[in-house]
């Protein structure tokens, strides 16, 4: 492209011919210094880019650590019986809360439902009736409850199921009825909704929606009130429930973690192995899930 008469190398060679040897020597020295400076600038640029990439990677890791939400892992536990792909809520639909946002477990028996962790849309457990009754639970939990009830029976005690599985639709009816009640007393809808949520769990957030929870009473006390803790059935459950895979879900000393008041009547099926580990650890389900998640992350 350049003109044949005044090409850059030709001009340069022409210039050099007019220089004294001393000027030539200085000129070459300056060129060498310029090359060295260019080289140093390039090395610094490469180091800077590497440092920026490392910083970005570090920040990503820190965010994952503090939110407990690694982008590569699914956020929702699969339903016990349903195909996980169609039932999992997309991660973005899951409300995040700093207080009780707990990582989901891959174990369907450790499925978490609380005010910050609604069940995946379309969640539907496979249900079975409890022995001789009209109550339904998730099939494995139902069989375990029957075994537990019969074991208690053999010692002269009577465990009675007072409330078990409740569909999200039924939960919605109860919740809306509670809202209507408060609006009937003059509250606006937002305030009534807030008030209702303190009495009835928001649909999809109740453990009874999982099919894995049961409210237990005795023959003489089916009130599902705190005085159930005075019944011999409660003492027996404290001792033996874990052997059948059940935990006391809302203990008195975990109210701040679970966000639910002490419920000596409410038991949750998690499977025998999990129940025994949870009982030994003294943790509630939220804490246990958070701990197992941390342990898993620390594994090499």
Which is nearer to Zn ion, 194 or 225 (by Cβ)? 225
CB-closest chain residue to Zn ion = 266
- Encoded one letter per residue, x for contact with Zn ion by CB under 5 A and - for no contact, window 187-226 reads ----------------------------x-----------
CA 104 to chain centre: 4
Shortest CB 253 distance to Zn ion, Å:
18
CB of 99 to Zn ion, least distance (A): 21
- 250 binds Zn ion, rule: CB under 5 A: no
Tell me the β-bridge partners of 267: 214, 248
Structure tokens at 221: 């006390």
Is 266 a residue that touches Zn ion (CB under 5 A)?
A: yes
Nearest to 210 by CA among 118, 87, 76, 89: 118
Dihedrals phi, psi of 289, to nearest 5 degrees: -65, -40
Number of residues that bind Zn ion (CB under 5 A): 2
**Distance in Å, CB of 224 to Zn ion, minimum:** 7
Choice between 215 and 286, CB closer to Zn ion: 215
Tell me how far, at minimum, the Cβ of 293 lies from Zn ion, in Å: 25
If binding is defined by CB under 5 A, does position 162 make contact with Zn ion? no
Window of 109-117, 148-156, 263-271, 292-300 that interacts with Zn ion by CB under 5 A: 263-271
CB of 204 to Zn ion, least distance (A): 15
- Between 248 and 278, name the residue whose CB sits nearer to Zn ion: 248
Choices 53-61, 84-92, 266-274, 288-296; region in contact with Zn ion by CB under 5 A:
266-274
**Which of 110, 102, 108, 111 lies closest to 68 in space, CA to CA?**
102
Among the listed residues 159, 166, 168, 111, the one whose alpha carbon sits nearest the alpha carbon of residue 135: 166
DSSP of 29-89, one letter per residue?
A: HHHHHHHHHHHHHHHHHHHHHHHHHHHHHHHHHHHHHHHT--TTS-SSPPPSSS-HHHHPP
Farthest-apart Cα atoms in the chain, separation: 118
Our answer to whether residue 98 is catalytic in this structure is no
Residues in Cβ contact with 147 at an 8 Å cutoff, skipping those fewer than 6 apart:
244
Kindly list the residues in this chain that would bind Zn ion in the complex (CB under 5 A). Answer: 215, 266
């Amino acid at each position: 492209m350049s003109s044949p008469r005044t090409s850059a190398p030709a001009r340069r060679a022409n210039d050099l011919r007019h220089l004294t040897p001393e000027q030539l020597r200085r000129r070459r020295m300056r060129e060498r210094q310029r090359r060295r400076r260019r080289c140093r600038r390039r090395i610094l640029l490469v180091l800077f880019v590497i440092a920026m990439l490392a910083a970005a990677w570090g920040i990503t890791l820190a965010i994952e650590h503090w939110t407990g939400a690694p982008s590569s892992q699914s956020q929702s536990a699969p339903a016990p019986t349903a195909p996980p792909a169609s039932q999992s809520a997309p991660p973005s639909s899951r409300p995040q809360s700093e207080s009780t946002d707990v990582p989901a477990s891959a174990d369907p028996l450790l499925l978490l439902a609380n005010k910050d962790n609604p069940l995946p849309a379309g969640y539907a457990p496979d249900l079975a009736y409890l022995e001789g009754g009209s109550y339904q639970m998730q099939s494995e939990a139902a069989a375990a409850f029957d075994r537990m009830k019969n074991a208690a029976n053999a010692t002269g005690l009577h465990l009675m199921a007072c409330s078990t599985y409740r569909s999200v639709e039924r939960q919605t009816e109860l919740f809306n009825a509670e809202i209507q009640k408060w609006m009937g007393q003059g509250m606006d809808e937002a305030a009534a909704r807030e008030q209702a949520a303190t009495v009835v769990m928001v649909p999809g957030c109740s453990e009874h929606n999982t099919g894995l929870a049961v409210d237990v009473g005795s023959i003489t006390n089916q009130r599902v009130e705190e005085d159930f803790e005075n019944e011999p059935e409660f003492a027996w459950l404290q001792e033996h429930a874990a052997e059948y895979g059940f935990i006391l879900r809302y203990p008195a000393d975990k109210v701040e973690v679970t966000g639910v008041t002490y419920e000596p009547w409410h038991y949750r099926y998690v499977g025998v192995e999990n129940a025994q580990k949870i009982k030994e650890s003294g943790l509630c389900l939220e804490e246990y899930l958070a701990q197992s998640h941390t342990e898993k992350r620390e594994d090499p």
